Homo-oligomer: A and B are copies of this chain.
Amino acid sequence: MTGMASRTRGAERRREPLSRERIVAAAVELLDTVGEGGLTFRALAERLATGPGAIYWHIAGRSELLVAATDAVLTAAAVGDEPDATPHETVRALALGLFDAIDEHPWVGAQLVGTPSQSPMLPIFEQLGRQVRALGVPQGAWFSAVSALWNYILGVAGQNAANARMPQPATDRTAYVGSVADHWAALDADRYVFTRTVADQLREHDDRAEFLTGIDLILTGITAHRWPAG
């Protein structure tokens, strides 16, 4: 497509025309810089040098824009599967790809937990399912096993989104975790024995490694669980 006026209009327009892709790209940029609440049709219009009404010609509304933005980020972060990897490794790679995408764009996490199984997630669900099948889980338990993985991943996604929303957008994350850990360590000694004990583990933990540990945990459970006959 060297597009020498093959389909484009003869004269170059003054500005690049609006398009669904340009709008979605601007929306992702806005979401990344100012957060979920910062995505406004007015701000978006200003960034695109137009008015709010023009955007509605290309996109039905705010929710469709959020779905499109999520889809754009997720398909860009899609993981190609290594043919020689074990099911365990493949699940880890899939989950890590999701984690990193959500870590980079926390609003994606909020969007994923806020809407029921959406189209951009279906391929990931499928890939997870195939690995579960390859782990030798009996067919009657496929749905349960994948659901466990699924809900865990969405839970972490939601927590990441919530953490990114809480303090000032630029506050240091370790400082925030540290303040929560301080709070835990100062709890009542009798009623919160356990929480006090793990305060330091909270302070020093690494989100990404912890997420992977949870994945391993569930995979261990999936293979070790005594599934009901079926």
> Which residues of chain A have a CB within 8 Å of any CB of chain B?
110, 113-117, 122-123, 125-126, 129-130, 133, 139-140, 142-148, 150-159, 162-163, 165-166, 180, 187, 191-195, 197-198, 201-202, 205, 210, 213-214, 216-222, 224-225
A162 and B197 contact, CB distance less than 8 A: no
Q: Which listed residue (B114, B139, B163, B192) contacts A197, Cβ 8 A? A: B139
- Looking at the assembled complex, report how far the CB atom of A14 sits from the nearest CB atom of chain B, in whole angstroms: 41
If over half of A's interface residues share one DSSP class (helix, strand or loop), that class is named, otherwise mixed; here it is helix
B147 and A214 contact, CB distance less than 8 A: yes
17 A-B pairs within 8 Å (CB atoms) are namely A113-B158, A114-B158, A123-B191, A126-B193, A129-B194, A129-B195, A143-B205, A143-B210, A144-B217, A148-B152, A148-B213, A151-B156, A152-B218, A155-B156, A217-B218, A218-B218, A220-B221
A122 and B220 contact, CB distance less than 8 A: no
Which residues of B have CB within 8 Å of A202?
143
- Looking at the assembled complex, report how far the CB atom of A175 sits from the nearest CB atom of chain B, in whole angstroms: 14
Given A114-B162, A218-B217, does the pair A194, B130 have CB atoms closer than 8 Å?
yes
Q: Which listed residue (B116, B193, B201) contacts A162, Cβ 8 A? A: B116
Residue of B nearest to A152 (CB): B152
In the assembled complex, the Cα of A40 lies from the Cα of B159 at a distance in Å of 26
Residue of B nearest to A123 (CB): B191
A210 and B147 contact, CB distance less than 8 A: yes
A162 and B198 contact, CB distance less than 8 A: no
Given A155-B151, A220-B224, does the pair A194, B126 have CB atoms closer than 8 Å?
yes
Which residues of B have CB within 8 Å of A147?
205, 210, 213-214
A126 and B195 contact, CB distance less than 8 A: yes
